Structure 1
């Protein structure tokens, strides 16, 4: 793999705040919540990887460009590693792990009755009435059952790269090419997307649905997404540091992949989700919200999609990947190997930051056996 590319990825994931506009997610004014530690030597934990090769945890982490890795078991940190300039106090890009934070926020609104799962997007965002999303239900957005066509301004790119490059150009994260006439903000980007077939008929993972959910949340409460995440979750965790979102030229947060946070603070969030919405004895997310996520969605739609080989047996629910494995694990996944893995029946959570130059499907396959080996070792 090209070392220069990996270095570029690391610079982007470690230091976005230096060269992009951002919005802070306030940690609150309370004390930092302590996390107990019970270190275990897991470096030489042996397992057979997805390619059938004998390996160890340390080899897998180093060979696949991990930046930071943390394992909690029964509420205690048992393993924590940092690589390649990553530090405990540095906010790392979460990429599409951000989607699961947004899905959790929307799920809270559904539980409280502020939103309806069968409500149509145009009810909240009339500006999108004529787009692909206008007649979609919120549950279809949450479960990635939106059938849409992204305008092609990057003819040399494949489908995944085209939709990602289109969004990043609209945000301003990557410069527009000469002659580019496409959207210049997140809201313009969403309005440019058209419908291809009836929603709910297929699983089609993409960025647009999450951006719409972020817009709905902000419109519903009349505050920024960063403020809402702080009020609802971040300020209640006893986080060590503010998190932050990348924003576009209008100040709109990138809901599908713009969140940055420290490893331990993401672990606090993950442990709260594992513990039925409680952290340090305080309720943060209703248990019913987490139960709904864990139940999963339509496995048949995911099995018929192009994501099935990387995630056999999975379903997708409320912006979370559900494994349906023997540990009842569910996950948040992101580009370049960002991961939250929550395994309730193993009483374990794992948080991973990486700079692997590939799609999240690749890293899901690379580390699936490692996560199961860790769980087997701890229980």
Structure 2
């Protein structure tokens, strides 16, 4: 992801309750999130756990299968330490407290070894995933590819003819999966007029300018031009996941929410339905609008950690999972190498170390599913950081989870 200036932080962030956000019947106007500020401090401490109170949504049904239980082998991890971005030694306990954590879960060798909730989040609370949802959509592409419903090397306009006159016409599915298309998309969060802000307006996450018509997510896709040859270096573009969702819907004849339920979510043994926020055309915001509980994100992560399997069932093709943790570092440069110097990007997944093959789903404001097949280790963190991107927070988060990995695997 692009970098941003460091945000001001405090050692012990206050909870939404402490801040008085949405407290009272009714809450005072100055304590209610609006379209202008819902994802910014202090309001995001409440909003990320209450998206259904703010936006229209579409369910991702958990199905009728029994809930798949977790096995626990709880361990004390608070005293594990790591070297922080500023050179100091920090404990996991201090890191969790100071990094605006809402939920944190670690699994090792199939057992939950720690599970903690903060900021009044509970086990049953759905939390916004931000761009963690991109990796979920990437796995769904793998399912449909395995079924023979989508080809990786076909021009996208052959699948979605409406794309014929925009920058994505000749791009292929594999180029978009790896974010190596040549299409211009300015990923500047909160910047008026940027392509990212246009998507926020289209998805209903930001208000339009006075008198401005509100486009749909797919209206915005059709305005994007090509600025370089397809297939060159990786460049992060959120819109490419929304394009993948369009392809999946056209190829399957199902909405993204129904498709994700049928192919993945209903097969994980989830505790609750997930859901997407949707735009005015009921199109799911594939690039960041998915919501689920901490444990259900962990169930998805565990499936990927196990090579796409849940029990004896192959949910995502194993070859697709292997491809998701295998990438080309030569096309993965600055600023992405700041947090993952040996990293890569493949099939909507971040690869932390291409030699090791540990991979992760990451989202702004501190969302993470980190997977290390080598040690059978997973960490899931849900957060409400005070800024979209905080370089030191990202580096510390990855240092913390890999320190825990190394400590429990020693």
TM-score range, shorter chain: over 0.9
Structure 1 equivalent of residue 344 of structure 2: 315
1:119 aligned to 2:154? yes
CA distance in 1: counterparts of 2:137 and 2:390, whole angstroms: 20
Q: Return the structure number with greater helix share.
A: 1
Structure 2 equivalent of residue 11 of structure 1: 46
TM-score, normalization: structure 1? 0.93
Contact 1:244 1:259 in 2 (8 A): yes
Return 5+ residue gaps in structure 1 as ranges. none
Structure 1 equivalent of residue 247 of structure 2: 216
Structure 2 equivalent of residue 157 of structure 1: 191
Aligned counterpart in structure 2 of residue 185 of structure 1, from 196, 210, 216: 216
Structure 2 equivalent of residue 253 of structure 1: 284
Query: Which segment drifts farther, 257-266 or 319-328?
Result: 319-328
Aligned counterpart in structure 2 of residue 346 of structure 1, from 375, 384, 387: 375
CA distance in 2: counterparts of 1:38 and 1:156, whole angstroms: 42
Shift of 1:326: 6.5
Shift of 1:99: 0.4
Shift of 1:282: 2.7
Structure 2 equivalent of residue 227 of structure 1: 258
Superposed counterparts of 1:223-372, under 5 Å: 223-296=254-327, 298-303=328-333, 305-324=334-353, 327-360=356-389, 362=391, 363-372=393-402
1:175 aligned to 2:207? yes
CA distance in 1: counterparts of 2:41 and 2:405, whole angstroms: 29
CA distance in 1: counterparts of 2:387 and 2:355, whole angstroms: 28
Shift of 1:10: 2.2
Residues 14-53 of structure 1: per-residue CA shift (max 9 Å, x gap)? 1111121100000001211110111101011112123211
Aligned counterpart in structure 2 of residue 59 of structure 1, from 77, 94, 113: 94
Return 5+ residue gaps in structure 2 as ranges. 1-7, 20-39
Shift of 1:6: 3.0
Shift of 1:306: 3.0
Q: Would the alpha carbon gap of residues 94 and 199 (structure 1) be closer, same or farther in structure 2, given more than 3 Å must change?
A: same
Residues 100-131 of structure 1: per-residue CA shift (max 9 Å, x gap)? 01111112222332211111110111111111
Query: Which segment drifts farther, 70-79 or 282-291?
Result: 282-291
Shift of 1:327: 4.8
SS in 1 for 2:340: coil
SS in 1 for 2:212: coil
Superposed counterparts of 1:74-153, under 5 Å: 74-150=109-185
CA distance in 2: counterparts of 1:10 and 1:356, whole angstroms: 8
Shift of 1:179: 4.7
SS in 2 for 1:193: coil
Query: What is the Cα-based RMSD across aligned positions, in Å?
Result: 2.1
Structure 1 equivalent of residue 24 of structure 2: none
Contact 1:327 1:346 in 2 (8 A): no
State the number of aligned residues. 373
CA distance in 2: counterparts of 1:144 and 1:357, whole angstroms: 27
Residues 295-332 of structure 1: per-residue CA shift (max 9 Å, x gap)? 22x211112x4322232111100000112267531000
SS in 1 for 2:379: strand
Query: Which segment drifts farther, 100-109 or 306-315?
Result: 306-315
Residues 318-366 of structure 1: per-residue CA shift (max 9 Å, x gap)? 0001122675310000010000000111111111100112345634312
CA distance in 2: counterparts of 1:340 and 1:151, whole angstroms: 25
Structure 1 equivalent of residue 25 of structure 2: none
SS in 2 for 1:295: coil
Contact 2:272 2:293 in 1 (8 A): yes
CA distance in 1: counterparts of 2:312 and 2:90, whole angstroms: 39
CA distance in 2: counterparts of 1:353 and 1:370, whole angstroms: 14
1:68 aligned to 2:103? yes
TM-score, normalization: structure 2? 0.86
CA distance in 1: counterparts of 2:287 and 2:312, whole angstroms: 30
